[in-house]
Structures are given as structure tokens and as C-alpha cells.
Amino acid sequence: MESRLEAYRSQGIQLWLEGEKLKFRGQKERLSEDILNELRQNKEEIIAYLKNRRYELTSIQHAYFAGSTAECELGNIHAQYYVEYRHKNIDTCRLEQAVNEVVRNNGALRTVIDSQGYQKELSDVPQVTIPVSRGRDTKELEEVRGYWRNYRYRYGEWPMINFQVTGLEEGEDILHVSFDCIILDAWSAKMMLDQIFLRYSGKEVSYPRISFRRYLELSRVYEKDNKNIAAAMEYWQGKAEKMPERPVLKLEKGFSEIDIPHFERLDYKFSKEETELLYLKVKSFNFTPAAVICTAFARILRRYSVNRAFTLNLTLFNRNPVHEDIERVLGDFTNIGFASFWGEPEKAFKEEIRDTQKQLWRLIQYRMYDGTKILRNPGRSMAGKAVMPVVFTGVLQGALKNEEKEFKESFAISQTPQVMLDHQARDDEGFLHLSWDYVREALGDKYIEEIFSDYITYIKALIYGEWDV
């Protein structure tokens, strides 16, 4: 069957599934009556094959897969996210119904990664059941948290996402959510949870008509014919040659000495009033929140880094415009880019923000270029080494919402192979929320807490003071 499909592809004929229907596209002269008859006669066989066909990982998925081995520095872990939500009284049956509906309508949530490094979207999966325990104390809550935050998903097994409910003695319920980031990026995870919470509250959800698998098929065609790819390649190859290394911070243990990295989180939530004050200033200077926060992060790191000039690893979410439903598709759309900071002592803060903002616009302009290729550059890449382990992930919309949420986030932490420090900045809760997930064995607690405290003090100075500081 694969050779037959390859023959169709070589003639420019695309085959894909939309739900249970076989769809095809090709130039009119290629779709001869013989081929159309062949497709009709073999339709059921083709549908069954496409449903169960495995397909390649994206570059970032492959980086996660490779980084999960012990041979990599800061490896031997999966990319994973764990989050808790508080709720007065969770109706578990209603929650299960919502979760199962969302799973049925999103192929990414039915995906399995096999041990050979391929992925498969399952057409049918068992019903998701949500374990519930009531009357638990704080110690028992910590035990459940410890289990899920350190849980390691097994390749070849479904599901790669889990839910559990813990009822506390004090009366509140905790929803635990854990998932492997190889199937969902941060933006997709937020959409998944939004869909679940909307269905839980009885509201309608508009699901995408294409899956992540179909998106990848369409993207290959889109990128092959896109003239921007050549310009992006030229930009990144030129930048890679001049890019300084990572920030060199004081380490308690070298990366190669750490068998299994353990992540801890530091976070700070600014008030809505503080966030509004900051964003008013950001807007008055025609900056973006991401450029300001990223520059402030770099400035604080510079105080502690051995090298004044360094490069940060930036998380991008790249959705090629290949279908009108693309903004609703769940999957791992992650790409990576890089922003360099040169540490010129005479450069004012606002001037440095402008430089950062230009780099961020370039990241958006050239986001189709595969950022992992830069890390594999012969002049920079060393097999298994954590080359760019300091990450900035900005999910900042700049427009604050005032909606009261039924499920309130109360705890979260992430881990990523070959990452030492991951700074996540977000404002989707209606205020600026800054988090640092760090490898405890590498940075210790006291040292990183000192840097984080300086960072929050610096942001507060930006809120209430002048900006050329």
C-alpha cells in the first residue's frame, strides 16, 4: 500500500482523511479515469491504511525523543508539563464526558510515539477514566503531585496525557493534569484545557476539521513551494556564524555529572494593577510585552553570567496557514529561534529593547526555518551536549481579560531535556505571571532564588520608575 501511495504522490496526487472520508487532490490531467476507478475500488483499504499509518516526528519532537536518552547532557527525562486546578466541587462524571469528547475530536490526544521515533494517530482509543480520591490532607496531595510531576510516559503506550481528582478535607477539589509535551505545545495545551472546561460548563466548542497529522502533510507542500524559506535560511545561517554562546552561570554540578535532572519552579504573579501600569508603558514606547520581558531577563542574567554577550533559546509556535481551521488544531507546533544580547555597557535599556524587538520580528518573519538545524551547525554542535540550555517562552497577548474562571490554576511545573533554565512569561490569567523552571542539581536553590529575586525587583522598578536604568 505504501508503494501505491508513493506512486500517487510522485504524480502530484494527495490523499488524506477528513473524519471517515477519503479526500484527494491533484491536477485535473493527472486524475485519469483509471486512477479515479482505482481509488474507488480500493477506498476502504486506503482509509484503513491511512488511519493506522505511522508518520515521522517533527524536528522538535525528535529533539525531545533523542533528549530522553541518558546519552544526552541534561537528558534521561521526557519533556513534560504538570498543572493543578482548584475547584469548589468537581462533577467527575461531567468532567470525564468533557475529556472524552475533546479526545475524540483532537487527533493529537490520541497520538502514540513508538520506540523507533515515529508517531501514530489512533482512530479508536479506550474511554478515559478519571480516578477520584476524597477527604485527603495536604500530605496526600503532595504525594499525588510528586507522582504526576515525575511521571515518565512510555513510548508505544497510550495515553500520553492523564487526569486525576483529589478532594481535600477543607472542601476544595484539585484537578491534576499531566501530559508529555511531545504531543502538545504550550499553546495547544491551553486550547485543550479551554475546550474541556467549556464542555464541562455546557458551552459549545468548535473543533477543527483537520488533525495535526494532516497539518504536517499540508505543511510539507506549503514549505516546499514557499519562497520565504530561502530568505529564512540565508538569515539564520548568517546569524548562526556570529551568535555568542549560552549565558555561563555558576553551576553546582556540570551537566555531564547529572544523571537525571530534577526541576523546581520559582514564580511570581504581579497584580492586575501592576500589569496594567507596565503594559501602559510598554504601549507608550511602541514596544511589545515579550520584547520588554525578554530584555529584562537578559539584563538580570548578565549580572551573574561570566560572559556579557550570550544567546537565549526562544520558543516559537509556528502554524503554517494551510487550512482555515489551523488556529484550532492541537499538536506540537514548537520551533525554536535565538536572540543574542551583546552586553554593551553604554547601551540604554530602551535601546536594547528595540534591538530585541527587531530580533523577535525576524523570528516571526523567518519562523518556518527549522531552528534545530542551527544547533546542529558543524561549528556549534557537539553530539549530546546541551548547547543552548537557557530558554525564554513568552505567551504574552498584551490584552488583559477579566473573566472569572471556574477552574483556577494553583500549581504548575515543566521539564525539558537539555534545558537548564526555562523562563515562561504569560498573561492569559489577566495578570503578568513569570515562572522559572530550573534544574536543581545544576543551579542549586539559593543561587537561583537570588537571581530570581533580583529579576522581580527589576520588573517592579520598570513598573514604577524610569526606564533608562
Per the CB < 8 A criterion, the answer to whether 78 and 69 are in contact is no
Domain ranges of the chain: 2-52, 59-200, 227-464
Compute the Cα dihedral for 71, 72, 75, 80 and give only its sign.
negative
Tell me, what's the pLDDT at 48? Answer: 76
> Could you tell me which residues are beta bridge partners of residue 312?
339
Three-state secondary-structure class, residue 365: helix
pLDDT digits (tens, 9 = 90+) for 1-58: 667 777 777 777 877 766 667 888 777 777 888 888 888 888 888 877 777 678 899 9
What is the CATH class of 227-464?
Answer: alpha beta
Per the CB < 8 A criterion, the answer to whether 133 and 166 are in contact is yes
d(Cα 461, Cα 467) in Å, to the nearest integer?
8
Query: Which residue, among 278, 314, 275, 274, has the nearest Cα to 298 in the 3D structure?
Result: 314
d(Cα 426, Cα 290) in Å, to the nearest integer?
9
Write down the H helix ranges in 254-383.
Answer: 272-284, 289-304, 349-365, 372-375
Which segments of the chain have a pLDDT < 50? none
Residue pointed to by grid coordinates 477543607: 170
Please give the helix or strand (H or E) that residue 4 lies within, else none: helix 2-10
For the sheet with 173-180, list strands across it: 132-136, 161-168, 173-180, 80-87, 408-415
Tell me, what's the pLDDT at 468? Answer: 73
Per the CB < 8 A criterion, the answer to whether 427 and 396 are in contact is yes
Tell me, what's the pLDDT at 354? Answer: 97
d(Cα 367, Cα 386) in Å, to the nearest integer?
22
> Could you tell me which residues are beta bridge partners of residue 90?
none
Beta-carbon contacts of residue 26 (< 8 Å; ≥ 6 apart) = 8, 11, 12, 13, 14
Tell me, what's the pLDDT at 15? Answer: 77
State the cell numbers at 227: 519562497
State the cell numbers at 30: 493527472
Query: Which residue, among 2, 48, 3, 58, has the nearest Cα to 22 in the 3D structure?
Result: 48
Domains 59-200 and 227-464 share a fold: yes
- 56 φ/ψ angles, rounded to the nearest 5 degrees: -70, 155
Three-state secondary-structure class, residue 133: strand
d(Cα 367, Cα 416) in Å, to the nearest integer?
21
Helices (H) and strands (E) in the chain, counts: 15, 16
Tell me, what's the pLDDT at 187? Answer: 93
Q: In a 10 Å sphere around its CB, with 0-12 CB exposed, 13-18 middle and 19+ buried, how is residue 420 labelled?
A: buried
Tell me, what's the pLDDT at 404? Answer: 78
Length of the chain: 469
pLDDT digits (tens, 9 = 90+) for 270-314: 999 999 999 999 999 999 999 999 999 999 999 999 999 999 999
d(Cα 338, Cα 312) in Å, to the nearest integer?
6
Question: Looking at domain 2-52, which of 1.10.10, 3.40.50, 1.20.1640, 2.60.40 is its CATH number?
Answer: 1.10.10
Question: Looking at domain 59-200, which of 3.30.559.10, 1.10.260.40, 1.10.3210.10, 3.30.420.40 is its CATH number?
Answer: 3.30.559.10
Beta-carbon contacts of residue 36 (< 8 Å; ≥ 6 apart) = none
Task: Give Cα separations from 283 to 288, 395, 450 (angstroms).
Answer: 7, 17, 30
d(Cα 253, Cα 240) in Å, to the nearest integer?
28
Which DSSP string corresponds to 206-232?
---SS-HHHHHHHHHHHHHT-THHHHH
Compute the Cα dihedral for 353, 371, 118, 225 and give only its sign.
positive
